[in-house]
A and B are shown apart, each in its own frame.
Chain A
Amino acid sequence: MALLQIAEPGQSAAPHQHKLAVGIDLGTTNSLVATVRSGSAKVLPDANGNLLVPSVVRYQADAVTVGLEAAVHRISDSHNTITSVKRLLGKKLADVDQSHLPYRFAEQDSPLIETVAGPVNPIQVSAEILKSLAARASESLQSEPDGVVITVPAYFDDAQRQGTKDAAQLAGLHVLRLLNEPTAAAIAYGLDSGDEGVIAVYDLGGGTFDISILRLSKGVFEVLATGGDSALGGDDFDAAIVGWLQQQAGISDLADSQLVRQLYSLATAAKVALSDSESTEIVLDSHGYQWRGELSRSQFDELVAPLVQRSIRACRRALRDAGITQEEVGEVVMVGGSTRVPKVREDVASFFGQQPLTSIDPDQVVAIGAALQADILVGNKKDGELLLLDVTPLSLGIETMGGLVEKVIPRNTTIPVARAQEFTTFKDGQTAMAIHVLQGERELVDDCRSLARFTLRDIPPLAAGAAHIRVTFQVDADGLLSVTAMEKETGAQASVQVKPSYGLEDDEVTRMLKDSITHAKDDVSMRMLREQQVEASRFIENMTAALDADGETLLAADERALIEQAMQALANVAANDDVAAIEQAIKTLDQQSQEFAARRMDNSIKQALKGQSVEGL
C-alpha cells in the first residue's frame, strides 16, 4: 500500500520489477486471453493451438467444463450447456427475451438457470469462463497473473459492468480496470501505428454493437463519444437466417430446443460461408424436417440490411455527439467477428467514405489492446506513455416530480466525474426524501433503467422548498457509479454504491468465494496473513519516505505525531499473526494520513504546470 508515490522524473519509486498482467476479452460467443511478452502482445493459445475459447459452460452433476469441450454438447445437452451468457449478465429476467433460449429459468428477479448441478446465475457462469482463461494464462506464463484488464462493451450499463466485476472477483482475479472494447481496439491499432488523429472504432460482436470516436494526441487517448446497441450482433444475423429457414422449410413450432439449436448451427455456418462465397447450400435433416436449398449473398444482404442500418444510425449519432464530421475521421477500425460479413464492410466504408482497417485480426484486436493496457497499469511501461480518458456511455439522472428524469451526468462525459445537483422538499414538514437513480436517454422514468433507490432521512421539518438536498453522483474510472445525498443544514447523509438488485450483493460474492475455497481453508488464511503483512510493511516504508519528503513542510508537529503513532502501532501488530488486527491498524494509519496524502497531491498539482512553456505542453 503506497501513499501517493508521485515519482519525480528520473527518480523511480521502486526498483523496476516486471509484473505479469493479462488482458481478457470476455466475449458473447468467444473469449480470449492475451499478454505482453518481450514488448509485443500475443493471444495465448491452448495446447492444440486454439486461440479462441468458446464462451460456453456445461454443468454436469459433478463437473463444470468450459470452452470447446463444453461447446460440443450445446445441442445434445442444451439445458445444461450455457452459451452467450453475456447477454444475460446484469439483466432482470423480465428484460430477457426467452423465446430463443433453451434454458429453464427459475422464478426469480434475476435470471437463474436451472441445471443438473443446481441453479446458476449469469455471474457464476461468467466466472467459470474467466477462471478457465486465467488457468490458461497461468499455465502459459508459469505464474499467477498480478492483475487483469477485462473488456466490456462501451455500451454496457452500470449493472452489466458491476456484474462483470463480480464475476472476476468470484473467479479470484485482481481487476486492474474494466476497459471498453472499442477503446481496447483503438489502443491496439494506435500504439501500433503511432499516428495521431481521430479514430472511429466499429465493433460488431456476437451480441453487442459499439461505436466509439477517439482522438489520439501526444500519448493521450481521449474518447470523444461512444454509442451503440447492447442487443445487436452476429446472433441477430443468425436469427434472421433462422427466420428465413423456418419460412422456407415450413416450420411452425419452435418449442423443440434441439431443433432450434440445429437451425442456429445451420444459420451460423451459412453466414460464415457467405463471407467468402456468393451462395451456400443449406441441408436440414432432423426432427422430422427435411429441407434443402440455396441461400445467396444478395438474399443474405437483404435479410441483414435493416440490422446493419441500425448500426450506421448509431455511428451518425456518435459522430454528432463527438462534434466530428465524417471527413475528419482519419481511420476506421473494424472489430468483432461479425465485421467479416461483406455487407457490413461495404456499408461502413460507404458511410465513412474510406476503407476500414482490418490488419489486426478482428477477433484478437480487443484482447491485444487489453493486454497492452494491463501491461501499462501494472507498471511495466514507463510513466506517461499512454493515458486513456474514457466517457460515460449513458446519461445518469434522478427521478423528479411527475415521473420525469433530471439528468445529472449527461452521456459522453469524461470519467472520472463527480457532479452535484440541488433539490428541495416539496411538502411542509417533509423529513425524508426518496432518491431514485436512473440511467438512460429518455425523459420518462419508465423508459429508463432503474439502478437504485434509497432514502435520505432526518431532514429538518421546514416549509416546502426550504430544505436543500445536495445529491452527488460520482463515476469512477471503471464507469461504476456511487450516489450520495446530503441535507445542507444538518449534514444528514445517505449514500449508495449502485449495486443493482439483479447483480449480487457483496456478502453473496464473499460467500460464494468462501464456498469455492473451503477445501483449502488453511491455505487461504495463511495467504491472507502474508498478504496483510506485506501490505503493512509497504505502507510503513512508503509513509516513511513521504514524511521525509514533505512531512516538514506540509504537516504541523501534532499532525505528524499522530501519523507516526499510527505507524508504530501498525509495525507492532504486523509482527504477530492476527490478520484482523493488522487490517485494523492499516485502516487507522490510512485514516490518519488521508489529509496528508491529499495535501501532497494538491501540492504536486500546483507544481505540475509551473515553468512549462505553452509549446512544451
Chain B
Amino acid sequence: MNYFELFSLTPSYQLDLSDLAGRYRTLQSQFHPDKFAGESAQAQAIAMQRAAQINDAYQTLKTPLNRAQYLLSLQGIELAGEQQTVSDVEFLMLQMELREQLESLQAAADPEDAIDKLAARLNKDRRSLSDDFESAYNEGHYQQAGDIVRKLKFYARLEQQLQQAEEQLLDF
C-alpha cells in the first residue's frame, strides 16, 4: 500500500491539506496503540508499526518537497539519498548570491528587517519552482521534475539555515 492508497487518495501534487489532516485523524483514531492498550503485546506491536507508518505517510504527503520526492519515487526516480546535483550554472550563481546575503545578516543595520526580506525572497522563488514542478509532473516530464526537486532542496536548506540564523540573532 503506498502512502496515497493508505489515505484513499489518487497520487497528485495538488493536495487539500485540511482534507489530508482529516483523513490522518480518522486513521489514527482507529490504529493508534492507545486503542489497543488493553490488548496483547502482539496487537500493540502491530498497531505501533501501523501508527508509525501512518505518521510517516502523513509527514511525507504534508510537506510539498517530500510529497514531490515521493511522487517521483512512485515513478521510479529516487532522489532521497542521491549524490547527483544541479548543473544549471545560472541557478548555482544565484544560490551563491543568496548564501552571501544569509551570511551578511549579522552585519545588517536592521537584522530583523534583513531577515524578513530574505525570507520573502526565498518564499517567492520556492513558490515559482513549486509551480514549475507541478506542470512538469502533470505533463509526465519526470526527469525535468526531478531537476526541479533538486533545486527545491537548495531552498529548503537555505530556509532552514535562515531560521537558525534568526534564532541566534534574536535570541530564541
Contacts and interface: CB of A to CB of B under 8 A. Distances in A.
A169 to B, nearest CB: 15
B26 A416 contact: no
Interface in B1-45: 1, 6-8, 16, 19, 21-23, 25-43
Chain B interface main SS type: helix
Contact of B46 (A147, A418, A601, A617): A601
Interface string A248-291: 00000000000000000000000000000000000000000000
Interface string A395-408: 00000000000000
Nearest to B32: A387
A614 B8 CA distance: 11
A590 B44 CA distance: 12
A557 to B, nearest CB: 23
B25 A602 contact: no
A594 B25 CA distance: 26
Contact of B49 (A147, A219, A418): A418
B29 A220 contact: yes
**Interface size class for chain A?**
35 or more
A313 interface: yes
Given A320-B172, A610-B8, A417 B43 contact: no
Nearest to B29: A387
A606 B30 CA distance: 12
Given A477-B48, A617-B22, A2 B56 contact: no
B61 interface: no
Interface residues of B, number: 45
Of A317, A597, A617, most B-chain CB atoms within 10 Å: A617
A217 B24 CA distance: 12
Contacts of B30: 6, 604-605, 608
Interface string A208-233: 00000000011110100000000000
A547 interface: no
A6 B49 CA distance: 16
Contacts of B53: 418
- A-B pairs with the 9 shortest C-beta distances? A617-B22, A1-B40, A609-B8, A377-B37, A418-B52, A2-B39, A477-B33, A416-B52, A220-B25
Interface of B: 1, 6-8, 16, 19, 21-23, 25-43, 46-53, 55-56, 58-59, 81, 163, 167, 171-172
Interface of A: 1-6, 147, 176-177, 217-220, 222, 313, 316-317, 320, 376-379, 383-384, 387-389, 413-419, 422, 474, 476-477, 539, 590, 593-594, 597-598, 601-602, 604-606, 608-610, 612, 614, 617
